[in-house]
Structure 1
């Protein structure tokens, strides 16, 4: 399968690594020759220097015979134009990264004319995952399947929990819940449990069910707490999408953003949200804006280090549960080890 990737940014580079490791025939297009040389030295791929929206460059990359073209350059306009051109040249399928909220809202109207097989919005997907975690605050991790219809959550059984010492068969008989405990991690051991399996303190239960039944499960075991006040640090695209989703669920959302122009735009786009223009790293500002009363803090600033520090600070103060966004591939594992999420 031949795949052409346009754009050697963070997303494009990560995608190139994964696909090349799976032995796909990958061609990478980017205007930065230095970055392409680095990718060529690391990976078994073909690199073409040039503009991804240039027909000559696309022909040189073999787009007319490609099975898939993925455009993930820095601008939405370039991505959509590149995919339109690739389809005209004969590519079988095209995928464009579209991040602008205005463009993405109208993507269904543009999809046919642009001949897009799919449009992806990483910021919207990230906001969706964060909102799921906020709705299920007692979970350590939430994964979605079947377009969000089914969820798998990781739930850590705390010390002296009333679940400790209870078998799964007893749990089902007592609560009559429609969830499946598909795996349990106990220390370094992973167990596929049956009805006789007895839950111990510290076990990590991996539970599969629809969102409705997972909420019901946490409500029945006394772990369900409805979040109401959410503080978002950073008013970028992820912050906008997240606030819009949470406001739609009836929550109170406050956004702290340093850029005045962004604050003005957010006030117009999210009239029900409270927008504060200030530095989210300012401890006094966080206190003034009610961090102690917030049910959750979500740190979505443009700096990974600042996001991690904010998340760690709030956890140590025992004010709220926190989430942080990372754009670097090596940061998520570090933040998990630090215990910020």
Structure 2
């Protein structure tokens, strides 16, 4: 694909590096010549110095031959305007980085009116990752699939666990909790186990199960699952906003510390 990435900050750099490694033809654009030079040299991509909200700049960067524009500057309004111009000029697919809580709440309307193919919100994604770990503090990692209906958690089997020395085919008769142990890591080796595989204490296992069953499962396999009720957040940035909002919706008590009184009152 021919892709233009508007914005040469951390997000733009990461996207350029990843997409270039996947074999796509990448052009990066930014108003900062030094930033364009750094990204184009490091990622071996084409660089263009210009304003992504300018029709002329997009045209000169090759928008008419572009399949996808990703607007990843640090200004939401600039990203959305760049996508609107790209849709009108090049009829390509567009992705906008949208960080503002206000715009995020109206993203359905904005996508329809501006013709956005997709919006991304790194701050919101980071907050949701924190939320998953807070909901299951005993797990090493928590990933969500099927729109939150299924969770993949990683944990280490403790000494004395019912799983220690257990053949996988005997799992349900012993634990009586619906879960699928899909990956086992032992001594640096990763295994997809079959029914004859014998688990041992110290194994790192990845398990899929509904979120509602996680704490029950952990307790049954010998891992104390203490439910977190109170959370203290230090800092009043955008990630803190999304995290506090998600925690409150989950029924947790939240306190937030922010040195800026006006921002604190706003939150």
* TM-score past 0.5 threshold: yes
Contact 2:53–2:81 (Cα < 8 Å) also in 1 = yes
Distance of 2:6 and 2:39 partners within structure 1: 13
> Do structure 1's residue 113 and structure 2's residue 113 form an aligned pair?
yes
- 1:109 CA displacement: 1.5
Aligned to 1:86: 86
Q: Is the 8 A contact 1:179 1:214 kept in 2?
A: no
Say if 1:4 and 1:68, in contact at 8 Å, map to a contact too.
Answer: yes
Give the drift of 1:261. 2.1
Give me the TM-score of the superposition, normalised by structure 1.
0.75
The answer on whether the counterparts of 1:69 and 1:91 sit within 8 Å (CA) in structure 2 is no
Give the structure 2 partner of residue 146 of structure 1: 146
Counterpart for residue 302 of structure 1: none
Q: In the aligned structure 2, how far is the partner of 1:228 from the partner of 1:235? A: 20
* 3-state SS in 1 of match to 2:148: coil
With the length of structure 2 as denominator, give the TM-score of the two structures.
0.94
Gaps of 5+ in 1: 267-341
- Inter-partner Cα distance in structure 1 for 2:185 and 2:238: 35
Distance 2:66 2:161 in 1: 55
Which residue number corresponds to residue 235 of structure 2?
Answer: 234
Aligned positions of 1:1-341 closer than 5 A: 1-221=1-221, 223-266=224-267
Q: Decide whether the 8 Å contact of 2:162 with 2:174 is kept in 1.
A: no
1:212: Cα distance to partner? 2.7
Deviation (angstroms), 1:137: 1.0
Coordinate RMSD, CA, aligned = 1.5
Could you list the per-position Cα deviations for residues 118-147 of structure 1 after superposition, in whole angstroms to 9, with x for gaps in the alignment? 111111111111111111111101122233
Distance 1:72 1:137 in 2: 32
Whole-Å Cα distance in 1 between the matches of residues 9 and 263 of structure 2?
24
Q: Quote how far apart the aligned CAs of 1:117 are.
A: 0.7
Quote the Cα distance in structure 2 between the aligned partners of 1:188 and 1:220.
26
Q: CA deviation at 1:219?
A: 4.2
Gaps of 5+ in 2: none
